[in-house]
């Protein structure tokens, strides 16, 4: 999979800009606050139909303007395709794929895949569960549009149930209907999560072993709302739904007291263990950083396995966070795919990759991007 050309119109601090990417490593460089990350955000938009930085589309429209549009020509599965996304203040965004309107966001999913790694993910192991869930949800959504649809549905049901629980006398029948819906949706979502965590673990464990010279055994654990689930066990959806029903009933008094939905996939977590010990409390900062890196490389391999194409790797200012050996390790593991990377020091980056070819430099300054001649 390859991003060929990006068009920005009134997107963030870009008025009108076209960027042509190279097939190998694209290095977007320039000073701070010039518009480097904005480019990655625009590319990321085509993988999920939404930003990785904000939930409000209007925030991406250039100050003072009413609308923005971004377009991407990309190659995948041996053909070229075109995506267009139009944002406007006050109305919903519109999307076209090869000039055909995309009516639902889930129809965009799966056509253009990325793996994103930016500084806010460095605390993935250490910080709260929200980031870990979000990271996993973004991965699965890209590959299984159905997951995304169910996920949106679940959010709606949880919101309605919360509203119901906040009433003076919640209607019992209505609550029962919602709980049944929640159990069914949650079972589906959890089954997807289990499958993906299991597949991620296989790749991540291999990579962790390699990067640690054989001394570290990485395993992933899934802390579901129905307890810790063995990711390698075969649990069918019927059984999951049944366990969820029981768990929801048991939590009813607590939910009534807190007036909030406590049981559901919106309250779950993933944990990482190294040699059987929880990395969140036992791993050093450097080890935790390595785990995130390993997780990202595992995502790349999982996507490759799933779609038989390499995703586009977006690395935001991340190389400067890694020491020399880890940088080398990353580059050795991603040499057959397109990478779009941002940094402030271009020469330093070039030095660190040791004269490797296939590098396209793109210089960004104050909302303009200029491709450097090869």
Provide the binding-site residues for ligand ADP, judged by CB under 6 A: 12-13, 30, 32-38, 60-63
Beta carbon nearer to ligand ADP, 121 or 184: 121
Beta carbon nearer to ligand ADP, 11 or 222: 11
For residue 56, the minimal CB distance to ligand ADP (Å) is 10
For residue 318, the minimal CB distance to ligand ADP (Å) is 12
For residue 8, the minimal CB distance to Mg ion (Å) is 16
Q: What does 49 interact with, of Mg ion, ligand ADP, none (CB < 5 to 8 A by kind)?
A: none
Whose CB is nearest to Mg ion? Answer: 37
Beta carbon nearer to ligand ADP, 63 or 238: 63
Which stretch in 9-17, 28-36, 229-237, 343-351 sits in contact with Mg ion by CB under 5 A?
A: 28-36
Beta carbon nearer to ligand ADP, 7 or 150: 7
Does 34 contact Mg ion by CB under 5 A? Answer: no
Does 37 contact Mg ion by CB under 5 A? Answer: yes
Does 52 contact Mg ion by CB under 5 A? Answer: no
Q: Are 7 and 71 contacting, i.e. CB atoms less than 8 angstroms apart?
A: yes
Beta carbon nearer to ligand ADP, 30 or 49: 30
Beta carbon nearer to Mg ion, 60 or 302: 60
- Number of shown-chain residues binding Mg ion (CB under 5 A): 2
d(CA 155, CA 264): 10
For residue 45, the minimal CB distance to ligand ADP (Å) is 14
Binding site residues, Mg ion, CB under 5 A: 36-37
């Amino acid at each position: 999979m390859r991003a060929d050309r990006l068009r920005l119109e009134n997107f963030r601090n870009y008025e009108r800009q076209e960027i042509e990417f190279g097939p190998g490593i694209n290095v977007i460089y320039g000073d701070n606050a010039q518009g480097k990350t904005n480019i990655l955000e625009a590319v990321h938009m085509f993988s999920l139909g939404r930003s990785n930085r904000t939930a409000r589309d209007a925030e991406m429209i250039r100050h003072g303007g009413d609308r923005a549009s971004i377009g991407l020509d990309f190659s995948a599965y041996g053909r070229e395709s075109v995506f267009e996304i139009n944002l406007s203040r006050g109305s919903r965004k519109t999307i076209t794929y090869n000039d055909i309107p995309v009516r639902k966001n889930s129809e965009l999913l799966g056509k253009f895949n990325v793996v994103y790694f930016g500084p806010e993910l460095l605390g993935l192991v250490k910080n709260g569960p929200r980031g870990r869930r979000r990271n996993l949800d973004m991965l699965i959504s890209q590959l299984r549009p159905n997951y995304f649809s169910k996920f949106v549905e679940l959010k709606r049901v949880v919101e309605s149930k919360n509203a119901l629980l906040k009433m003076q006398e919640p209607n019992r029948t209505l609550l029962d209907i919602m709980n049944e819906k929640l159990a069914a949706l949650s079972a589906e979502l959890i089954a997807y999560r289990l499958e993906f965590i299991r597949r991620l673990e296989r790749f991540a464990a291999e990579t962790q072993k390699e990067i640690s010279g054989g001394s570290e055994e990485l395993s992933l654990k899934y802390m579901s709302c129905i307890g810790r689930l063995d990711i390698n066990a075969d649990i069918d959806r019927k059984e999951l739904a049944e366990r969820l029903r029981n768990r929801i009933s048991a939590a009813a008094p607590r939910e009534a007291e807190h007036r909030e939905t406590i049981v559901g996939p919106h309250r779950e977590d993933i944990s990482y263990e190294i040699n059987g010990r929880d990395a969140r409390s036992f791993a050093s900062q450097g080890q935790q950083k390595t785990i995130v890196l390993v997780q990202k490389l595992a995502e790349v391999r999982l996507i490759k396995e799933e779609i038989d194409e390499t995703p586009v790797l977006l690395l935001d200012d991340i190389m400067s966070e890694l020491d020399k050996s880890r940088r080398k390790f990353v580059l050795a593991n991603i040499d057959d795919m397109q990478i779009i990377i941002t940094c402030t020091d271009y020469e330093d980056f070039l030095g660190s990759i040791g004269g490797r070819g296939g590098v396209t430099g793109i210089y960004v300054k104050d909302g303009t991007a200029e491709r450097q001649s090869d």
